[in-house]
Amino acid sequence: MQFRPCIDIHNGKVKQIVGGSLRDVGDTANENFVSEQDAAFFANLYKAAGLKGGHVIMLNSPDSEYFEATKEQALLALRTYSGGLQAGGGINPDNAGEFLSAGASHVIVTSYAFKDGVIHFDRLKKLVKAVGKERLVLDVSCRRTENGYKVVTDRWQKLTGETVDGALLDRLSEYCDEFLIHAVDVEGKAQGIEQELVKMMGGWNKLPVTYAGGVHSTDDLELIRELGQNRVNFTVGSALDIFGGNLRWEEVIKINNKKI
């Protein structure tokens, strides 16, 4: 189990938002925290702590008036901590190389492959051909339903018929090196994790997986360790004190370094 930190960038600023509130029209979102520091500050923080595999996420769409400012911050973070961070947000075969050249260890693929309520496997093949399976992370977002956790697309607004389980991860693992799995219903709320999802992720154990959503205490982190059989990586956003929350950075680092 490893801590995978994040740098979420929206409208050119490092922020923490309630994910389901993000809207391209007007570039709006419900904000939990807006930093006075730039992305390089957080990249240096993660570098000093020896953390690898953190996520730099551009939250503006490419046609946003703020996209260039957001992209500039993302590239700044990647250059500051070359090889230590992953880049996501609007990644496709045409632009992936720019972020890898800037220092990203991997690119994180979301909307290009998960769009209009469908998983586009043909697009995943194009990505693998463009940058290689070993440089790709698939960002799988899901909501709890009566029939399991279902993949959602389009800023988490469209529900698909795909269930997030071992069988789906097996299929998708042909196209990536890692998974980042967002529990959408609890994302950005810091009110607890989706325990059944973490348990499923821990039982799969074929590629690195990172859980995102709802972490608000050290108890949550120990629960991820237990339910995930010490195999599931985790990310924490709004709950962290460096993003205005109550969970102390030092405590998370201590848990990350804990040996079992």
Instruction: For 200-258, write each residue's pLDDT tens digit.
Output: 999 999 999 999 999 999 999 999 999 999 999 999 988 999 999 999 999 999 999 98
Give mean pLDDT, residues 173-182: 97
How far out from the chain centre does Cα 115 lie? 17
| Amino acid in position 202 | G
pLDDT mean over 70-77:
98
| Cα separation, 232 vs 196, whole angstroms | 13
pTM (2 decimals)? Answer: 0.93
Q: Single out the residue of 68, 103, 69, 61 nearest to residue 86, CA to CA.
A: 103
- Residues 187, 20: contact at Cβ < 8 Å? yes
What local confidence, expressed as pLDDT, does residue 230 receive? 95
Task: Give yes or no for residue 24 having a pLDDT over 90.
Answer: no
Average pLDDT over residues 106-133: 95
**Element (DSSP H or E) covering residue 182:** strand 178-183
Q: Say if residue 25's pLDDT is above 70.
A: no
pLDDT band at 135 (very low <50, low <70, confident <90, very high): very high
Q: Give the chain's mean pLDDT.
A: 92
User: What average pLDDT does this structure show over 177-183?
Assistant: 96
Separation of alpha carbons 143 and 161, rounded Å: 11
**Under a CB-based contact definition with an 8 Å cutoff, are residues 154 and 143 in contact?**
no
**Confidence class for position 185, pLDDT limits 50, 70, 90:** confident
pLDDT (0 to 100) of residue 168: 97
pLDDT-derived band at 20 (thresholds 50, 70, 90) equals: low
Question: Predicted confidence band at 42 (pLDDT cuts at 50, 70, 90)?
Answer: very high
Binned at pLDDT 50, 70 and 90, residue 18 comes out as: low
**Predicted pLDDT at 238:** 86
The reported pLDDT for the residue numbered 47 is 98
Per the DSSP assignment, residues forming a β-bridge with 141 are 182
Segment 69-96 mean pLDDT? 97
Poorest-pLDDT segment among 7-11, 57-61, 189-193, 251-255: 189-193
Residue 259 pLDDT more than 70?
Answer: no
Instruction: Write down the pLDDT at residue 192.
Output: 87
